[in-house]
Amino acid sequence: MSNERKHLPPEVKSDFLIIGSGLAGLYAALYASKFGEVTILTKSTVEESNSFWAQGGIAAAIDPEDSAWFHIEDTLRAGRGLCNERAVELLVNEGIERVADLIDLGMEFDMGDKGLDLGLEGGHTKRRILHAGGSSTGREMVRFLIAAVEENPGITKYESTGVVKFLSRDGRCYGAVALGSDFEPRVFYAGSTILATGGASAIFERTTNPGGSTGEGISIAYQAGARVTDMEFVQFHPTAFYSEDGGSFLISEAVRGEGAHLINTEGRRFMSDYSDLGELAPRDVVSRAIYKEMKEAGKDCVYLDLKHMDAEIIKSRFENIYLACRELGFDITRDMIPVAPAAHYTIGGVSTGLRGETNIKGLSACGEVACSGVHGANRLASNSLLECIVFAKRAVDGALQNQDSATDTPGDLLSQLTGYGISGSRDTEQKTYTECRENISSIMNRNVGMVRSGSGLKEASRELQECSGYLDKLTGYFKIKLNMILEVSQLITRFSLMREESRGVHIREDFPVENPIWKSHIVLERGKEPQIVKV
Ligand SMILES: Cc1cc2nc3c(=O)[nH]c(=O)nc-3n(C[C@H](O)[C@H](O)[C@H](O)COP(=O)(O)OP(=O)(O)OC[C@H]3O[C@@H](n4cnc5c(N)ncnc54)[C@H](O)[C@@H]3O)c2cc1C
């Protein structure tokens, strides 16, 4: 990797510090490089992200039979009254331009006989999903952007460099502290810091996300005084592969878009009992229907049936899903796939305005870590890759209007660099950390999942509080990591307890219907009382 530094210098100064190398971070880095020196940090390898695993595609209203109006309507309908309408208009209208920019730069999406091969997914009334490499859209887009980043002399990237803290004071962010693989702290000063660290769904035991998606950016921002919004809304994807050992991976919505049926354990197709749109209803409707079918049958899964579809089309359009299932003994052209909902997408996050701005000067956020309001209470399929590129550009534009010189940083911020060394045995601390992390995932799965209740949430809250006892047994890196996971879990649980209704992605068993009083967002800033903000 041409512009990767082999040895981390103790201090780096740049105009833009981008944290995270998913679609949002890579796009922000490339665009920001037109205006100044860019540093991009990522805690693992540059390819490790949710973006890399995105399957179905990216939504854009580019077909002559489609229009921005239809896409906006579909997004608002899915969002159950909580979308920020202006943010949705920007997402859809600028999304068309950003996708066109990518194509102009050379990104190749799959083609059909009459031009771009546009797919259909749940909640969309038109074919508007661009995809690449069949169902490997994320991998293709990420690799395309990484190649562009690596060729760009204005961008320096640091892998295995995890941010643990912002350098901030009096409501201003001056950059971040990160730990390399040697656990030594390094300082990255910047005129503008852009957080693009993705979501938190890997804190749940049953998840479609890679293990690193634990919401670290949300915790770091919250600790620095950033507001967080709608943390209770975690989207559970209706069709994640089900196995008894808890392992899970995504079976893309696009599979239903191309005609797969959902079948209950009695062998009956059931989605028409719940929605006129059948299998193509929005995600929350499908997830709830699956939950009801599983509950009534006393089973842990339902099935996706592709047997009636053309076997060759399945193998080429959904190659990675075909291969992953085959490895587990399922030939999806002949066998039904066991599926059940799993934690998939973090709708809430760091509160941002329409230019990615947070309440901390010099700090912006974009992509899944941010909550700009585009998804409301239920994200429309394939809108998140679009959100990444639209709001990454907007975050850079916003930062430009606000930028101070990276040299104007107060020097004594370095006194914040304490407590990163591991003082105990690394093996023992690793073991304790892993044990507690698994415990947290199981608590979240049991009581803070798609179906919640006041008593279950209180129980989760108490159990999470007990977990904080583990922090005393840890030092340095492990303590910081565990604290971040615990903090995000506690935020999700606390917000979930407050929302006494069932809206969008969740069912509260004790408040089973949508309540107009709760057509509101919950916003929280550390040390203050939560605010209920009416839509
Ligand atoms: C299996 C799967 C399939 C999906 N399919 C689709 C789809 O078809 N269409 C769609 O629109 N959406 C899809 N999504 C959702 C979509 O992929 C994500 O919402 C989107 O990619 C998020 O991009 P991001 O750049 O915000 O975050 P990510 O892609 O998750 O990137 C976050 C980056 O931040 C880094 N990071 C995290 N913490 C730190 C730290 N402390 N310090 C430094 N770096 C850090 C990570 O290593 C990573 O590089 C899918 C998600 C999954 C899991």
Q: Residue 364 gets which letter from DSSP?
A: E
DSSP assignment string, 449-508: SSEE-HHHHHHHHHHHHHHGGGGGG--HHHHHHHHHHHHHHHHHHHHHHH--S--TT-EE
How would you label 85-124 residue by residue, b for 16+ Cβ within 10 Å and e otherwise? Answer: eebbbbbbebbbebbeebeeeebebbeeeeebbbbbbbbb
Among 84-98, 107-121, 178-192, 393-407, the range scoring the smallest mean pLDDT is 393-407
373 lines ligand 1 (CB under 6 A): no
Is the separation of the CB atoms in 148 and 105 below 8 Å? Answer: yes
**Region 25-41: what's the mean pLDDT?**
98
Q: For residue 6, how far is the Cα from the chain centroid?
A: 29
Indicate the top mutation candidate among 253, 385, 482 to test ligand 1's pocket, ranked by most ligand atoms within 8 A of CB. 385
Indicate the top mutation candidate among 51, 52, 251, 505 to test ligand 1's pocket, ranked by most ligand atoms within 8 A of CB. 51
Is the separation of the CB atoms in 522 and 490 below 8 Å? Answer: no
- Summarised one tens digit per residue, pLDDT across range 477-490 is 999 999 999 999 99
Burial of 63 (0-12, 13-18, 19+ CB in 10 A): middle
461 lines ligand 1 (CB under 6 A): no
- Summarised one tens digit per residue, pLDDT across range 285-327 is 999 999 999 999 999 999 999 999 999 999 999 999 999 999 9
119 lines ligand 1 (CB under 6 A): no
For residue 253, which atom of ligand 1 is closest to its CA? Answer: 8
- Summary mean pLDDT of the chain: 94
**Region 261-277: what's the mean pLDDT?**
96
For residue 413, pLDDT beyond 90: no
| Residues belonging to the active site | 283
Among 387, 358, 388, 340, smallest CA distance to 79 is for: 387
- Summarised one tens digit per residue, pLDDT across range 75-113 is 999 999 999 999 999 999 999 999 999 999 999 999 999
For residue 363, the cross-strand partners are 193
How would you label 227-261 residue by residue, b for 16+ Cβ within 10 Å and e otherwise? Answer: bbbbbbbbbbbbbbbbeeeeebbbbbbbbbbbbbb
87 vs 27, 90, 102, 196, 391, CA distance in Å? 19, 5, 21, 18, 9
Among 431, 482, 528, smallest CA distance to 227 is for: 528
480 lines ligand 1 (CB under 6 A): no
Q: Residue of the nearest CA to atom 38 in ligand 1?
A: 197
How would you label 316-352 residue by residue, b for 16+ Cβ within 10 Å and e otherwise? Answer: ebbebbbebbeeeebebbeebbbbbbbbbbbbbbbbb
Task: Give the span between the Cα atoms of 504 and 83, in whole angstroms.
Answer: 11
Task: Give the span between the Cα atoms of 467 and 482, in whole angstroms.
Answer: 10
| 3-state class (DSSP) for residue 182 | coil
For residue 385, which atom of ligand 1 is closest to its CA? Answer: 11
The pairing of strands 363-365 and 370-371 is unpaired
| 3-state class (DSSP) for residue 149 | helix
Q: Residue 49 gets which letter from DSSP?
A: S
Whole-number Å distance, alpha carbon 15 to ligand 1 midpoint, is 24
- Residue 87: which H helix or E strand, with range? helix 85-105
Is the separation of the CB atoms in 121 and 381 below 8 Å? Answer: yes
Amino acid residing at 337: I
Alpha-helical regions (H) of 244-310: 253-257, 283-297
Residue 392 token pair: 């990454």
Whole-number Å distance, alpha carbon 64 to ligand 1 midpoint, is 30
Indicate the top mutation candidate among 23, 47, 49 to test ligand 1's pocket, ranked by most ligand atoms within 8 A of CB. 49
| pLDDT at residue 11 in the model | 85
| pLDDT at residue 1 in the model | 45
For residue 368, which atom of ligand 1 is closest to its CA? Answer: 26
Residue 285 token pair: 């409707």
Give percent of the chain with pLDDT exceeding 70: 97
Is the separation of the CB atoms in 300 and 294 below 8 Å? Answer: yes
198 lines ligand 1 (CB under 6 A): yes
250 lines ligand 1 (CB under 6 A): yes
Query: If you count DSSP H runs as helices and E runs as strands, how many of each does the chain have, helices first?
Result: 14, 22
Task: Give the span between the Cα atoms of 453 and 455, in whole angstroms.
Answer: 5
- Summarised one tens digit per residue, pLDDT across range 493-503 is 999 999 999 99
Alpha-helical regions (H) of 18-84: 23-32, 50-53, 68-78
Residue 142 token pair: 């990420």
294 lines ligand 1 (CB under 6 A): no
Phi and psi torsions of 176, nearest 5°: -150, 160
Q: Residue of the nearest CA to atom 35 in ligand 1?
A: 20
50 lines ligand 1 (CB under 6 A): yes
Task: Give the span between the Cα atoms of 48 and 138, in whole angstroms.
Answer: 11
399 lines ligand 1 (CB under 6 A): no
239 lines ligand 1 (CB under 6 A): no
196 lines ligand 1 (CB under 6 A): yes
51 lines ligand 1 (CB under 6 A): yes
| pLDDT at residue 172 in the model | 93
Whole-number Å distance, alpha carbon 21 to ligand 1 midpoint, is 9
Q: Which residue has the tokens 């509160």?
A: 351
Task: Give the span between the Cα atoms of 21 and 42, in whole angstroms.
Answer: 6
For residue 139, pLDDT beyond 60: yes
Give percent of the chain with pLDDT exceeding 90: 87
Whole-number Å distance, alpha carbon 52 to ligand 1 midpoint, is 7
477 lines ligand 1 (CB under 6 A): no
| 3-state class (DSSP) for residue 375 | coil
Q: Residue of the nearest CA to atom 4 in ligand 1?
A: 54
Whole-number Å distance, alpha carbon 132 to ligand 1 midpoint, is 17
Q: Residue of the nearest CA to atom 21 in ligand 1?
A: 51
For residue 20, which atom of ligand 1 is closest to its CA? Answer: 34
- Residue 145: which H helix or E strand, with range? helix 137-151
Among 316, 143, 350, smallest CA distance to 229 is for: 350
Whole-number Å distance, alpha carbon 48 to ligand 1 midpoint, is 9
Indicate the top mutation candidate among 75, 149, 197 to test ligand 1's pocket, ranked by most ligand atoms within 8 A of CB. 197
For residue 369, which atom of ligand 1 is closest to its CA? Answer: 26
